[in-house]
């Protein structure tokens, strides 16, 4: 069903360095299908107006489409209500909001638990809250490329107030058992926060089943535009916390002495939002739903199963992450002995293959793995086995170019 869909993505149909583009940097951002591009164009050509403010036709059409996108998100992640779906600028903003919520209730002696595999966006906000509140920030470490669940159980105590974990590691590809972690957190009275940036585009998300308290993800990693993201929060919790941004739209009434806030979800959405971004995210969700999220996930599993043995045959190539592909998302971080990953990525680019190289905004993890950087190939629904073959061929050429064979 996913064969032949590259035609829906104009950017993929180009030549880079005299080679057809093979785009394998999907963990950084994904390409946009015609349907999403059309949604952006249609909004600006036909409905460009501010939302929730005007009574004229354009304003009402824009508001209707904006709120329809929120409902699409609600259904996609199985939230109970659109009151629990907040539009943000992306995962980073979403986690920062939760960390600032936490700062409203944390006190000295409380604990926050995160893991060593987190993206900086799920580390730095908690470090800042810890500095300001005097709470203790604990890290859970790894075992065989996966979270050490024994270590996690030791780190989460009755003093733990927030646990914040990536659903899927953006470096190792590890799929973390968030349902199990959530149960452990709740047993100790802690709130569970999940960074869903690397999971939401690739696998079915059921927040009612997961029972997490907060869940964050970005539109641009699931074929939506940049600058739009989502923070899910349980309604009863969102009602307890104060907004962290202030201005138009989120107020009920402004007096000279103080202000009162409007109802959820708009209570947290100050100022003119990214209207086109939200509408286009809705279009991206439509596209995913038409293909089937389970089919997308299975497609990526098949690509990893196909590629992994071929990579393992390349002498001197080290793969990071779980050995069991079932516990891995659609990405592979690797290094070639004797080569800096930036040189590997540059050489691959000369063959038309786009991969990421660097610390992937996960320096604590790379330090833990005792490597300053890796190359990373990450896959999405438009990638094919031919793309995998091209990557392997380009890696072999890279070794030959640097006289490593």
User: What CA–CA distance (Å, rounded) separates 185 from 163?
Assistant: 7
Burial class (CB in 10 A: 0-12, 13-18, 19+), 313: exposed
Q: Among 250, 210, 260, 198, which residue's Cα sits nearest to residue 234?
A: 210
Name the region of 370 (left: φ>0; alpha: ψ -120 to 50; beta: rest). left
Q: Catalytic site residue 388?
A: no
| Helices 385-401 & 293-312 angle (0-180, nearest 10) | 30
Strand residue runs (E) in 239-297 = 251-254, 259-261
CA atoms lying within 13 Å on the CB side of residue 270:
10
User: What CA–CA distance (Å, rounded) separates 341 from 334?
Assistant: 8
Strand residue runs (E) in 234-383 = 251-254, 259-261, 317-320, 331-336, 353-354, 356-358, 374-378
Question: What are 136's strand-pairing partners?
Answer: 111
Through-space distance between the first and last CA atoms of the chain, rounded to whole angstroms = 39
Q: CB of 345 within 8 A of CB of 359?
A: no
Which residue among 165, 231, 361, 369 is the active-site one? Answer: 361
Name the region of 273 (left: φ>0; alpha: ψ -120 to 50; beta: rest). beta
Q: Name the percent of the chain in helix, strand, coil, to the closest 5.
A: 45, 20, 40
* Measured CA angle at 79 (ends 74, 80), to 5 deg: 110
Tokens of 59: 């304003």
Which positions are catalytic?
A: 361
């Amino acid at each position: 069903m996913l064969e032949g869909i590259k035609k829906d993505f104009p950017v993929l149909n180009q030549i880079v360095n005299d080679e057809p583009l093979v785009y394998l940097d999907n963990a950084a951002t994904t390409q946009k299908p015609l349907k999403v591009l059309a949604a952006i164009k249609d909004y600006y050509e036909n409905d460009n107006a501010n939302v929730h403010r005007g009574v004229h036709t354009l304003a009402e059409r824009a508001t209707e489409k904006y709120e329809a996108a929120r409902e699409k998100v609600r259904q996609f992640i199985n939230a109970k209500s659109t009151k629990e779906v907040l539009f943000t600028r992306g995962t980073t903003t979403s986690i920062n909001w939760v960390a600032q919520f936490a700062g409203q209730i944390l006190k000295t002696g409380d604990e926050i638990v995160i893991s060593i595999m987190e993206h900086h966006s799920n580390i730095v906000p908690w470090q800042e809250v810890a500095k300001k509140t005097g709470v203790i920030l604990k890290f859970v470490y790894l075992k065989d490329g996966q979270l050490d669940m024994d270590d996690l159980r030791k780190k989460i105590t009755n003093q733990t107030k927030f646990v914040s974990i990536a659903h899927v590691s953006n470096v190792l590809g590890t799929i973390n058992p968030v349902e199990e972690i959530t149960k452990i957190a709740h047993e100790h009275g802690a709130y569970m926060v999940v960074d869903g940036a690397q999971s939401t585009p690739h696998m079915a998300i059921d927040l009612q089943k997961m029972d997490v308290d907060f869940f964050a993800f970005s539109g641009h990693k699931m074929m939506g535009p940049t600058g739009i993201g989502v923070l899910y929060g349980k309604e009863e919790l969102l009602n307890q916390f104060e907004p962290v941004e202030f201005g138009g739209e989120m107020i009920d009434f402004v007096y000279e002495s103080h202000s009162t806030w409007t109802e959820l979800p708009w209570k947290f959405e100050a100022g003119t939002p990214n209207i086109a971004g939200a509408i286009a995210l809705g279009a991206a969700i439509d596209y995913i739903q038409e293909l089937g999220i389970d089919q997308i996930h299975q497609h990526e599993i098949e690509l990893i199963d196909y590629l992994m043995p071929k990579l393992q045959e390349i002498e001197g190539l080290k793969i990071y992450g779980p050995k069991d592909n079932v516990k891995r998302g659609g990405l592979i971080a690797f290094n070639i002995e004797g080569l800096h990953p930036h040189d590997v990525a540059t050489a691959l680019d000369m063959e038309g293959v786009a991969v990421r190289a660097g610390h992937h905004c996960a320096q604590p993890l790379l330090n833990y793995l005792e490597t300053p950087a890796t190359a990373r190939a990450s896959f999405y629904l438009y990638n094919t086995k031919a793309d995998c073959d091209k990557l392997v061929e380009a890696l072999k050429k890279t070794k030959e170019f640097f006289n490593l064979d």
